[in-house]
Structure 1
Amino acid sequence: MSSKIPIVRQTAWISIVPHLMVMGLIMLIWYQFNKTEFILYGAITYLIISQLLRRVIAKEHKAGMLKVKLEKFEEAIPLFKNSYEFFKRNDWIDKYRFLTLLSSGRMTYKEMALINIAFCYGQSGNGKLSKEYYERALNEYPKSGMAKAGLRLLNSISDSQDK
């Protein structure tokens, strides 16, 4: 399914190192059982585990992203809000997501949730709430380039309407 909605994935490259270590450990375990195809089995096992972790633990986020791709922005908002609340309650999962979810994302799931909520409100025509969520994202994550860009865009639109 191709999407007309831009999806941005930023990678924290340093987190690849623990991923390679986990994959190596899985391959080492497979080596005990199959000395010829342990690399293949290890890689497949790693992929299955990483996908399962993201589908189970970050299920609200994934469901929200699916709604965004389908341009069902109003339906995505509560999913992202649930995702934000889950990762707020379980901050350690988000903080150590390079191990808990085998995710190399640069942004936390909480930051992504706030930005996605702001984006969805903006796409739904609610600029006021969109701006509030971009500002909230900036309050919690002052270096968030996505939140800064979203706010700049909203401000430039309101400035051009004022003229």
Structure 2
Amino acid sequence: MSSKTPKVRQINYIAIIPHLIIMAGMVWLWYQIYPENAFLFGAITYILTSFILRNLISKDHRNGIKNNNSENYKEAISDFEKSYTFFSKHEWVDKYRMVTLLSSSKMSYREMALANIGYCYSQIGDGNKAKEYYERTLKEFPGSGLAKSALNMMNSVEQTPSSKN
């Protein structure tokens, strides 16, 4: 069995500011209703809202991550394709994910979906498809460090002469 899948989490620290504002708004609303425990209820409301939004709206992406972690790469590819399609149809949800999903991720869900599809193809041994998806990721997201790194690694492996013992 292969080792654990590497995790890449890029955080947009500026996105924490709107999160704090949203949480403060929830605390303020609870303060109007129940001032004694406004902070506790506001924080709980924020956490529940965040959990619900991420699990309902980005469920295909989450399923892809679960399948990827379980090494069910073909199923993960299907899930990531659904995620990409959803966020392509609803670009504003992805663009404003710091508010719509309470997500502070630096990478968009569309970028993550394409890069994850490339990764999954590499894990099932389809290097050509993996390369195709990493190149597509770079075409749509020119600043994608993840796709650049993956392509550099794939290109270096292709250029390295195999050694014989």
TM-score (normalised: structure 1): 0.95
SS in 1 for 2:102: coil
1:152 counterpart residue number: 152
Measured against aligned partners, the alpha-carbon deviations of 1:77-115 in whole angstroms (never above 9, x if no partner) come to: 010001001000100000001110010000000000000
1:110 counterpart residue number: 110
1:28 counterpart residue number: 28
* Alpha-carbon distance in structure 2 between the residues aligned to 1:20 and 1:87: 25
Measured against aligned partners, the alpha-carbon deviations of 1:34-74 in whole angstroms (never above 9, x if no partner) come to: 21211111111100001100110000000000011111111
2:44 counterpart residue number: 44
* Alpha-carbon distance in structure 2 between the residues aligned to 1:162 and 1:60: 39
* Alpha-carbon distance in structure 1 between the residues aligned to 2:148 and 2:74: 23
* Alpha-carbon distance in structure 2 between the residues aligned to 1:72 and 1:40: 40
Q: Is 1:136 matched with 2:136?
A: yes
Please report the RMSD computed on the Cα atoms of aligned residues, expressed in angstroms.
1.3
Q: 1:161 to 1:121 in 2, by over 3 A?
A: farther
Measured against aligned partners, the alpha-carbon deviations of 1:135-156 in whole angstroms (never above 9, x if no partner) come to: 0000011110000001011111
Give ranges in structure 1 of 5+ residues lacking alignment: none
Give ranges in structure 2 of 5+ residues lacking alignment: none
